[in-house]
Structure 1
Amino acid sequence: MDTHLSLFDAPLPALDGSRALRLGLTGGIGSGKSTVARELQRLGTTVIDADALSRASTASGGSAIAAIRAAFGDAFITPDGALDRDRMRTLVFAQPEARARLEAIIHPLVRAEIEQRAHAVPPGQVAVLDLPLLVESGNWRQRVDVVWVVDCSPEVQIQRVMRRNGWPRTQVEAVLASQATSAERRAVADTVISNDGSELAPLLQQVRQAWAAL
């Protein structure tokens, strides 16, 4: 039995002051979620970034590399021993079964690391679990106490990611199609942070107001 999955599937204990509050933060690509996470960290929370942990697991010497090499072959590992992200990105968008195989390797490792770090946050404090796939994964909603969603229109997302990453529109649209919709995220949200604008100050003001309410 996978003990990491067993721990993950166990009910989250009641919030009675004996553990940190877990705030699940999510949003689609280009929504501004990372900006919100940085502001929450500035406000005194501990931010646990699932994407950063995933990248670390596939970096040179990362915990997922041996299993990825075994599952996909040497062609998907760079000379310095890291995941070839461009090659893998092309494969998983073309073959959904390849995406499932990759996620089956990486996700349990990331989940276990998130759990370990969340348990280490002192009681009475707030652990922000920065989870791009909070809605898509299904189980994360049971592992957090409140959910914040950073939301904006798909067209705003597309324009931001095209500017930031230099991707063509079709590539950004393919990523959006693989993620939960705005309606699906809002359906599980306790708080929605709207970020359609181009100014930073209104976004940060929303974060501070939501934080004060929490």
Structure 2
Amino acid sequence: MFAVGLTGGIGSGKSTIADLFATHGVAVVDTDAIAHRITAPGGAAMGAIEQAFGPQFVAPDGSLDRARMRALVFSDDTAKARLEAITHPLIRSETEREREAAIGPYVIVVVPLLVESGTWRSRVDRVLVVDCDVETQIERVMRRNAFSREQVLAIIARQATREARLAAADDVIVNDATPLDALAREVHVLHRHYLSLAGAAPA
């Protein structure tokens, strides 16, 4: 099935754009949602995470202690690699399972680290970047997650630059305080374009 990789920096509004595509009957596979699912209580990654990092990284409800793990991987690249060795294969296999089960004219795959991964570009037919000013990202994430400015800046520093994402883009939606109805119109135009491309793509 024709696949569009939707990406953007933290706080850019990827979920909003994905939801707007879903209103057109497009299947959405969200790798972030999958990551949360496999690290939820009883999630597929939790046994290996506890074994690799210890019970202190498991919250009382059995889910991943995200704040503790975030602090560790931001200060220790080896720990980050160990975590990714556990989670990435599970995310990849579940993403492929959902893509194969998807029903609709094409599928949107939401991949926050699409540019950073190095492998995703070859696994989608087109890349859609949701772009916004860095200050807008910081403001949104501080409000949404109650993070400090320093925490948000540290996350942004670990992601691809705005310039690198735009260089990888086939299509761009700018979401700097853009009204929802204007975003909906942009999505509608792109949806019609993707329908055309999907119809021309081999099955």
TM-score by length of 2: 0.92
Deviations 1:31-64 (A, max 9, x none): 0110000001111111011011000101111100
Per-residue deviation, 1:161: 1.0
Unpaired runs of 5+ in structure 2?
A: 195-203
**One of 140, 143, 147 as aligned partner of 1:160:** 140
The SS at the match of 2:127 is strand
Per-residue deviation, 1:198: 4.4
The SS at the match of 2:22 is helix
Per-residue deviation, 1:80: 2.5
Q: 1:175 maps to what in 2? A: 155
Q: Partner letter of residue 28 of structure 1?
A: G
Q: 1:185 maps to what in 2? A: 165
**One of 70, 76, 84 as aligned partner of 2:65:** 84
Q: 1:199 maps to what in 2? A: 179
The SS at the match of 1:203 is helix
The SS at the match of 1:48 is strand
Note if 1:143 corresponds to 2:130. no
Q: 2:199 maps to what in 1? A: none
CA distance in 1, matches of 2:63, 2:146: 23
The SS at the match of 1:147 is strand
Q: 1:211 maps to what in 2? A: 191
Deviations 1:83-109 (A, max 9, x none): 111111111111122111111110110
Where in structure 1 do 4 or more consecutive aligned residues deviate above 3 Å? none
The SS at the match of 1:25 is strand
CA distance in 2, matches of 1:128, 1:146: 10
Q: Partner letter of residue 119 of structure 1?
A: E
Per-residue deviation, 1:184: 0.9
Per-residue deviation, 1:160: 1.1
Q: 2:79 maps to what in 1? A: 98
TM-score by length of 1: 0.87
Per-residue deviation, 1:197: 2.2
Q: Partner letter of residue 37 of structure 1?
A: A
**One of 52, 61, 64 as aligned partner of 2:42:** 61
CA distance in 2, matches of 1:180, 1:203: 24
Q: 1:43 maps to what in 2? A: 24
Q: 1:112 maps to what in 2? A: 93
RMSD, aligned α-carbons? 1.2
Deviations 1:13-37 (A, max 9, x none): xxxxxxx111110011110110000
Q: Partner letter of residue 53 of structure 2?
A: F
Per-residue deviation, 1:125: 1.9
Q: 1:15 maps to what in 2? A: none
Matched residue count: 194
**One of 26, 40, 53 as aligned partner of 1:72:** 53
Q: Partner letter of residue 80 of structure 1?
A: D
CA distance in 1, matches of 2:146, 2:95: 30
Query: Identity across aligned pairs (percent)?
Result: 52
Deviations 1:137-184 (A, max 9, x none): 110111101110000111111111111112110000001001111111
